[in-house]
Amino acid sequence: MDLEEDIRSLQLDSAEDINGVVNPEDEKPDVDNFDKMEDEGLLSGNDPKQEVQAQSVEAEPKAKDKEIPPVQDEEDEHMKKRHLNVVFIGHVDAGKSTTGGQILFLSGQVDDRTIQKYEKEAKDKSRESWYMAYIMDTNEEERVKGKTVEVGRAHFETDTTRFTILDAPGHKSYVPNMISGASQADIGVLVISARKGEFETGYERGGQTREHVQLAKTLGVTKLLVVVNKMDDPTVNWSKERYDEIESKMVPFLKQSGYNVKKDVSFLPISGLMGLNIKTRLDKSHCSWWDGPCLFESLDSIEVPMGDPQSPFRMPIIDKFKDMGTVVMGKVESGTIKDGDSLLIMPNKDHVKVVAIYIDEKRVNIAGPGENLRVRLSGIEEEDLLSGFVLSSAANPISTVTEFVAQLQILELLDNAIFTAGYKAVLHVHSVVEECEIVELLEQIDPKTRKPIKKKVLFVKNGAIVLCRVQVNNVICVEKFSDFPQLGRFTLRTEGKTVAVGKITAI
């Protein structure tokens, strides 16, 4: 198939050409087309992660713990439940870590004694209201500053679903870490502070609420739960007017960012600090007007299509360590892995054997799409692995490239910047972070007709959709968006700002 046919086979709808993201400057998004996006099946698929050492609430097994737990029966009740990854996103200080900590406490993952210890520690730092966040923010820097830096990771269960919580940083300095969390997620929980002034700060241009929503959509988070937190704050006091004001402002922006609000977005009020409307529904004494579900019920009700267990195996590596051999961590994006499998580590083509597979600290024989795994391998040393390498089927390995053709949506360039051949940026694709250069602009595409409008284009501005050739410094593992959406979508960032999002159309 020639390049032009390949491009047309991947056309998206209107400004959703790049996963529904449109230029944030647009005042009047084409709302009529939003409902068409999801029907085309182009916004499904979920991404892995970039290089960030995820921290776990549960301690990793130490090398000295020589006793290997027995393999769990494949029909174990725990494994019968579906598994979903939930990323908590939103502006700094919205209450993401506190809400995540409260979820773990209410689901029985953290005991009262631990909570009392955290309460005392927070009080000693004169930060009494931060104690729940300490469950997710485990290092000292995060606790002192009250800012999540790395992506916290923890697990909890409801009656029907096993969840992995990914607690993403809200501060703009740590957006690359937020990308790594969102790229692994199936569901996004957007935490918004209802406190007077805090919602406005996060929502205004430059606030992370906007950037996080756009990035989440780009990274394949198709379902969004918007929780309006701090409803118990004295400036709010469970005010329906404040809740409605926030919802009325967020809905147009979510549509503009590509979300089908009726099908894929839910709103609910909570108090993360007090644990209200999280595990059980709100009592009328707290909030007389809310008659909807609690957070656990909302999470349980979300339907997310899973990857194909029969397709070639792909698991991007997000972290590695030594523990009686070499252990890699990652999320299965497609295919199935079994104990004893012979696989390839790409791009180096190292042959490895699967020695053990762990899900949530339990050893299992088999795991499928969507699972977050630790896999012990033989045949490779830990120092020979990098984040961004991919554990891959030996019969049908992932593609390795130094150059690819992509369709890009320009969001917002830096002041005085021109997007043209020679433009350099940092590429984020699954768990890869790599410097790249735009080597050629092939054609500009009309957002409405989805057809080329300019050939031999020299440069483009904010909001443009352009087909271009991208070159990276080192060999990376990627796939075409049409084959593996989660391994074929990416973002471009420059000087701490997301300037473009795209999908790989040819390799």
Identify the domain boundary among 360, 393, 426.
Answer: 393
Buried b / exposed e over 105-123, threshold 16 CB at 10 Å, is bbbebbeeeebeebeeebe
Query: Is 215 found in the same domain as 294?
Result: yes
- Indicate the pTM of the whole model: 0.69
- Closest alpha carbon to 334 in 370, 375, 377, 387: 370
pLDDT in tens, 33-79: 333 333 333 333 333 333 333 333 333 443 333 344 444 444 454 45
Say if 375 falls within a structural domain.
yes
Instruction: Region of 360 please: left (phi>0), alpha (psi -120 to 50) or beta.
Output: left
CB proximity list for 183: less than 8 A, separation 6 or greater: 46, 47, 48, 49, 50, 219, 220, 428, 430, 431
- Amino acid identity for residue 351 in this structure: H
Tell me which of 498 and 243 has the higher pLDDT.
Answer: 243
Does the pLDDT value for residue 116 go beyond 80? no
Are 255 and 132 in the same domain?
Answer: yes
Amino acid at position 411, single letter: L
* Residue span of the structural domain in which 500 resides: 400-506
Domain boundary among 301, 333, 366: 301
- Binned at pLDDT 50, 70 and 90, residue 128 comes out as low
Domain at 252, CATH number: 3.40.50.300
* Same domain for 365 and 448: no
In CATH, what number is assigned to the domain containing residue 490?
2.40.30.10
- Residues 167 and 107: their CA atoms lie apart, in Å, by 17
pLDDT at 435: 94
Of 393, 412, 447, the position where a domain reaches its end is 393
Q: Is the residue at 483 inside a domain?
A: yes
Q: Residue 22: inside a domain, yes or no?
A: no
Percentage above 70 pLDDT, the chain = 72
Number of domains in the chain: 3
Q: Based on the fold, state whether residues 143 and 216 are members of the same structural domain.
A: yes
* In a domain? residue 12: no
Residue 454: is its pLDDT beyond 90?
no
